[in-house]
Structure 1
Amino acid sequence: MASRNTTRARDIDRSNTCTLLDAGYGEGQLDFDEHKSRTAAAMSARTLGELESLVTDLQLPTALTDTLTVPNRPAPPRRGALLAGVAAVVVVVGAVTLVLVNQDGPDPAPAAAAPAVAPLAPIPPAPPASDKYADVAPVVIAPIDTLTAAGIEQFITKYRAKFGDTLVYDAYFYGDYAGVTRMAPGQPGNEQDYSFRGGFEPDSVTSHTGDEPPFDLASVDLGALAGHLLGAAESVQVPGGTISHIGMQFEEGDPTVSIYVNNEKTGASGYLELSPTGEVTRVSTPS
């Protein structure tokens, strides 16, 4: 029987470990580089032991760790199987006794009466299907906030695991979901849209127009992006504004990261354009 440390990890185990790492990053226990390297290690981990080693030094909220799933231990033998095994042993013992009795020679001495065995308690009926999982705690997985650098990092990790690269024609992040366009599988002249809400769902396929090369998500300096996200409202002169969405694509021949800010109360809006390495290339403020 495999130990817990060598038990194969599931996708949900890797996702739960990333949730714990996010909590550690949000509380300042991990710096950006540590969070990035551990998240990458979690997404490629093969066993529960590898996942546990990534979070054992973190102080984590009990309310969060109590909701995470752990692999079920091997179930004990079913009672019916156990009874069948006992019956088989009784048959074998009886057969051996008959052989001994039928052998030539003096009759064996009468055997002592076997002690009475208490009857097994009846097996209770299975609970109704509707109550079968009534006592099982629900699994809570924190959603990815793609309006944060940490959330975009998780998105990129999942994107690479899904498609094997980090290339997009464009990507837009809206917080609780995202949308990307990439080359359609096996169709170089077409592009495929995908929506993302924890996983990637294919949308429409259309002809690819334009000569712009794909944008590489891995080229974005997420540390520099995190700083610009914190000061975006001030940079575009929209007091009280919040980030509505983030875009990544080629603009006029250059790879561009765009941060859009608006204030729903005043109607003011603006945007900030950056190079992937974090240099400001354009600032649009309210007119």
Structure 2
Amino acid sequence: MEFKINSLEKISFGQLFNAFSKAFKDYEMQVTHDELYKMIHRRGYNAKLSFGAFHNNDLVSFTLNGTGIYNDLFTAYDTGTGTLESFRGNKLAGKIFNHSISFLKDAGVNQYLLEVLQHNKTAVKVYKDFGFKVSREFLYYVLPEKTIDYKHNISAKAVEITSITLEQCINNKNFNDYEPSWQNSFESISRDLNSFRIRGVLINSELAGYCISEPTTGDITQLAVHKEYRRKGIGYSLLKDAIEGITHHSFKIINIDTRCQSMVSFLSSLGIEPKGKQYEMILEL
């Protein structure tokens, strides 16, 4: 079979969604047309620096790249790499990767970032062979129902939750015990700010904790509480408030750093256990 590798700059979103759906038909988390659009937009999708393999003018394999700043470096982020089942075995992902590197370098990209499910051992090996190195390990959580086993009863007077701005969260980013992943970063949130619900707890007019969520997708994007105000029910109340505001049938918490025992223990205390693990991997260009 013959394949041509080209930029995805000129293909329609409909073509992209069709190929994406077929490539990930057996994936744990399925996305709708609108969810995919929001997902890649939030992650900084750059069609000019994304590439695909075409067979008879049909997109059969692809890598969708986002671009932005990560750890103070101009970064390309692999938003999604997939190949249609009937075309697997042709090493198309590797060919697309090799084709893309010179374009990424010419665009001034300093590093290539991706996340991969740990149980996908074939993909992990391929990326390591390309020179990617594991930078962090993440946990992800997916709950089919919007219910949690709350073990604390907090009075409304003690914890008053109000809408706040993204700037207030950014100014208190040190509440986080770890650096958010690409898709949960403030830059990613700002790309589609109107889709997010940003809530906080103020104590004596000072921010004590905040939660950023995306109601239509069920995504709990960031949850952070000042260290002095932990174990006082603020985290529970913020999470409960976020879940109550979700319009999706379920909710998810993606990319919790495995080293962040405070967050892992907090979620476990609510009966929320990990669905799986991912590697964050980086290749210096």
TM-score normalized by structure 1? 0.22
Q: Considering Cα pairs closer than 8 Å and 6+ residues apart, tell me whether 1 or 2 has the greater RCO.
A: 2
User: Comparing both structures, which one devotes a greater share of its residues to strand?
Assistant: 2
Give the number of the structure whose alpha-carbon radius of gyration is greater: 1
TM-score normalized by structure 2? 0.23
